[in-house]
Amino acid sequence: MVEQNEERKPRYATLETPVVEEKKPKASTVSSKPTVAKKNKKATVAKKEKVSEPVVVEVVKEVEVTYVPKRYEVEIYKKSNPLDIYAGKFGYFESTDMITLIEYTDNFGADVEDLLLGDIIVDGVGISVNNDKKNWIKNLCNTNLGYKFYAKPTRELNETE
């Protein structure tokens, strides 16, 4: 027997299931019945077993945070040999928008109080103690105060502390 080459048509996407002919070894009885491709049973079983998980909804409560005014404190020291001497402490209160001399040592009371009257220059920009008190006290550590005084970095606290 001579096999006949059938002209094959290109397959396009259709809704019909494809027909696949099985080729069996040639025997005395050859059945030329076309068979339909079998569906993958495992895939359908997996789809049937798939159960959707319950949806968990988280409720987010909006909590209003009350604003707590801040207090900024700066410690002032005088350069001295062998140790620097504590001279006093400035404080800025946001609720009242005031800078005050919180504490001072007896030897430097007048000198530290005079520092409250002067403006400072930080990187070529002048900051006035009368116009911008908050920035003045925050940048006090970045400037030269004169009379061998210097400031430590500013501490930020709640006013209730």
Residue 43 lies in a domain: no
Q: Based on the structure, what is the number of domains in the chain? A: 1
Q: Which residues, other chains included, contact 39 with Cβ-Cβ below 8 Å and sequence gap of 6+?
A: none
Does position 105 have pLDDT exceeding 60, yes or no? yes
Q: Report helix, strand or coil for 31.
A: coil
- Please give the C-alpha separations between residue 146 and each of 79, 87, 111, in angstroms, as whole numbers: 11, 13, 10
- For 95, other C-beta atoms within 10 Å of its C-beta total 10
Question: Over the stretch 106-157, which tens digit does the pLDDT of each residue have?
Answer: 888 888 888 888 888 888 888 888 888 999 999 999 988 888 899 999 999 9
Residue 45 lies in a domain: no
Residue 62 lies in a domain: no
Say what the pLDDT of residue 31 is.
53
- Please give the C-alpha separations between residue 1 and each of 8, 60, 96, in angstroms, as whole numbers: 21, 79, 110
49 membership: H or E segment, kind and range: helix 41-49
Residue 117 lies in a domain: yes
Q: Report helix, strand or coil for 120.
A: strand
Mean of pLDDT values over 11-25: 63
Residue 119 lies in a domain: yes
Residue 66 lies in a domain: no
Say what the pLDDT of residue 121 is.
86
pLDDT: is 19 or 155 the higher one?
Answer: 155
Does position 98 have pLDDT exceeding 60, yes or no? yes
Global pTM value: 0.56
Residue 127 lies in a domain: yes
Q: What is the dihedral of CA 146, 152, 154, 157, to 10 degrees?
A: -130
Confidence of residue 3 (pLDDT cuts 50, 70, 90): low
Does position 74 have pLDDT exceeding 70, yes or no? yes
Say what the pLDDT of residue 59 is.
81
Does position 52 have pLDDT exceeding 90, yes or no? no
Q: What is the rounded CA–CA span in Å between residue 89 and residue 144?
A: 16
Average pLDDT, the chain: 78
Q: What is the rounded CA–CA span in Å between residue 139 and residue 74?
A: 10
| Domain coverage including residue 102 | 71-158
Residue 27 lies in a domain: no
